[in-house]
C-alpha cells in the first residue's frame, strides 16, 4: 500500500525502489527504506529540491524550531546559519541555537523571537552578509583558534623564549590576549583580518553561502507549520537534543522519539 504523497503512477513505490537499486547498487531493503522515508516526508511536509526553498516551523515546549532546507553542504550551511542567527539577534534580540547539517540547518529560538515567512525572507538578503558573518564570529572560538596559528606565523607569539620551547597553554594564553586587544582596539589589523579570512574560507564555505543568498531571493518559498518534525528535519532535531540525553542510551532515545513522531 502506497503512502499519500508518493509520486503517482507510473512512478510507483516498487518502481522507485527498483530504480534506486539499479542506479545506486543498493540492497532491496535499503531501497524500500529510502522510498518509505521520502514518502513519509511528502506526507508530512514536502520533499525539498533546488527549485524552491522549504522552511518548516514546529513549536514545542516553549521553543520554536525553524528547519531551513538549503541543500548547500555542511560548511556552507555553517556560514549561512551564523549569518541568519546574527540577524535574528539584531532583529528580535536574544540568541538562536544553531544546528547544521549537510542539507540544511535548524534554528531553535524562544517564542518571542518567532517570525513570519516575510520576516524570514528579509533576513536572507545578500546585502551585508559578510558583515553579519564577521559580527557573528566576533565571539567565536573558531577565529580565536585560527588566530593562534596566524599570530605564530606573523611572529607576534614566539614559539621559543630564551632558547626554550613554550608550552601549548602558554602559546594559547598569549595569542588570546593579543586577539582580544586587536579585536577591541585595532579590528582592521592585517593578522586579525587574515584569521577571519582563514576561518571563513577554510572552515566555512562562504562563497557558496553567498551564492545561495543571491539565488534564494529569486526562488519561491514554501513555509510550512508542522505539528511534528518532518523526517528530513529529524536528523537536525536529534543532533540538537543529543547532548541532553544522559538518562538512557542515545540510540534508544532516538529510536523512541522516531516511533513517537511517526507511529512506526
For residue range 152-192, what is the model confidence (pLDDT) as tens digits? 665 556 555 555 555 566 656 566 777 777 777 778 878 77
In this prediction, residue 13 carries a pLDDT of: 86
| Rounded Cα distance, 75 and 222, in Å | 24
Q: What is the pLDDT of residue 4?
A: 39
Q: In whole angstroms, what is the distance from residue 166 CA to residue 159 CA?
A: 6
| pTM of the complete model | 0.81
Low-confidence ranges of the chain (pLDDT < 50): 1-10
| DSSP of 169-188 | HHHHHHHHHHHHHHHHH-TT
Give residue 2's pLDDT: 37
C-alpha–C-alpha distance, residues 99 and 107, integer Å: 7
Q: pLDDT tens digit string along 28-38?
A: 999 999 999 99
Long-range contacts of 118-126, Cβ-Cβ distance < 8 Å, separation of 24 or more: 119/91, 120/55, 120/66, 120/223, 121/221, 123/84, 123/87, 123/88, 123/91, 124/84, 124/213, 124/216, 124/217, 125/213, 125/217, 126/210, 126/213, 126/214, 126/217
Distances (CA, A) of 261 to 109, 228, 241: 21, 6, 15
Q: So what's the pLDDT on residue 3?
A: 38
Amino acid at each position: 500500500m502506497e503512502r499519500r504523497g508518493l509520486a503517482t503512477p507510473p512512478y510507483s513505490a516498487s518502481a522507485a525502489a527498483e530504480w534506486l537499486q539499479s542506479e545506486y547498487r543498493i540492497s532491496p531493503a535499503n531501497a524500500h527504506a529510502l522510498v518509505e522515508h521520502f514518502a513519509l516526508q511528502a506526507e508530512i511536509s514536502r520533499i525539498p529540491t533546488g527549485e524552491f526553498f522549504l522552511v518548516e516551523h514546529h513549536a514545542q515546549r516553549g521553543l520554536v524550531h525553524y528547519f531551513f532546507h538549503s541543500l548547500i553542504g555542511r560548511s556552507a550551511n555553517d556560514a549561512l546559519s551564523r549569518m541568519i542567527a546574527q540577524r535574528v539577534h539584531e532583529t528580535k534580540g536574544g540568541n538562536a541555537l544553531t544546528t547544521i547539517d549537510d542539507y540544511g540547518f535548524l534554528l531553535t529560538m524562544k517564542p518571542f523571537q518567532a517570525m513570519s515567512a516575510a520576516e524570514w525572507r528579509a533576513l536572507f538578503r545578500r546585502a551585508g552578509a559578510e558583515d553579519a558573518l564577521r559580527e557573528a564570529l566576533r565571539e567565536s572560538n573558531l577565529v580565536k583558534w585560527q588566530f593562534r596559528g596566524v599570530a605564530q606565523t606573523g611572529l607576534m607569539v614566539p614559539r621559543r623564549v630564551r632558547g626554550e620551547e613554550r608550552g601549548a597553554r602558554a602559546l594559547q594564553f598569549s595569542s588570546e590576549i593579543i586577539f582580544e586587544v586587536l579585536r577591541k582596539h585595532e579590528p582592521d589589523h592585517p593578522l586579525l583580518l587574515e584569521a577571519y579570512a582563514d576561518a571563513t574560507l577554510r572552515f566555512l564555505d562562504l562563497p557558496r553561502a553567498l551564492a545561495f543568498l543571491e539565488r534564494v531571493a529569486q526562488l519561491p518559498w514554501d513555509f510550512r507549520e508542522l505539528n511534528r518534525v518532518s523526517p528530513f528535519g529529524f536528523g537536525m532535531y536529534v543532533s540538537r537534543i543529543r547532548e541532553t540525553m544522559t538518562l538512557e542510551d542515545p540510540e534508544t532515545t532516538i529510536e523512541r522519539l522516531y516511533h513517537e513522531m511517526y507511529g512506526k
